[in-house]
A and B are shown apart, each in its own frame.
Chain A
Amino acid sequence: DAGVIQSPRHEVTEMGQEVTLRCKPISGHDYLFWYRQTMMRGLELLIYFNNNVPIDDSGMPEDRFSAKMPNASFSTLKIQPSEPRDSAVYFCASSTPREYEQYFGPGTRLTVT
């Protein structure tokens, strides 16, 4: 299996622009998680899905952030409009209900200028 796939790996954008991050989980994994990692706050959970349904979005910082999972093999995290404080590494992870460990993608490094 190729593991969790994320794109793009790097994104540089100007403040106010829309940003879309993409994730393909491991086939057969029912859970999908979106995290954000910064030096100051560490790894924070933004939202997670079970069987394509959002379960908990309490970590989404504000309405500028939205996430969708239209099918079992694809999810997006959108920021509109982006702000410099959104600069971070965004990780997607997936897991199965039978195992507790999460498998992380390589991350998307977002820089908003």
Chain B
Amino acid sequence: SQKIEQNSEALNIQEGKTATLTCNYTNYSPAYLQWYRQDPGRGPVFLLLIRENEKEKRKERLKVTFDTTLKQSLFHITASQPADSATYLCALPTGGTDKLIFGTGTRLQVFP
């Protein structure tokens, strides 16, 4: 079955730097992959979706890449700000269904 691996250790970076988070999956390449942001005490919020035929996607300071050969997606936040501090989850569909499986998330802490 499909499994997702995200770095469980928190990522601490200085304001203004670029944060890079990794999402690896173990089985077949999905048709798309999503990234969500989750703040403490709140539900996940959708950020970006990238399809298997797209290598890169951008939205403001966010950039996502998708490498089906490496079975990996990278999530970048450029010019990071303390307000970017949150847990970031990647998610992908399973077996051609409408179900998503989520990674356990990586906590990002941006300090001034």
Contacts and interface: CB of A to CB of B under 8 A. Distances in A.
Q: What does DSSP make chain A's interface, helix, strand, loop or mixed?
A: strand
Contacts of B10: none
Contacts of B105: 42
B97 A56 contact: yes
B99 A45 contact: yes
Contacts of A102: 44, 46, 100
Interface string B33-69: 0100000011111100100000000000000000000
A12 interface: no
Contacts of A33: 100
B43 A93 contact: yes
B83 to A, nearest CB: 19
A101 B43 contact: no
B34 A42 contact: no
A105 interface: yes
A103 B103 contact: no
Nearest to A55: B98
Interface of B: 32, 34, 41-46, 49, 89, 93, 97-105
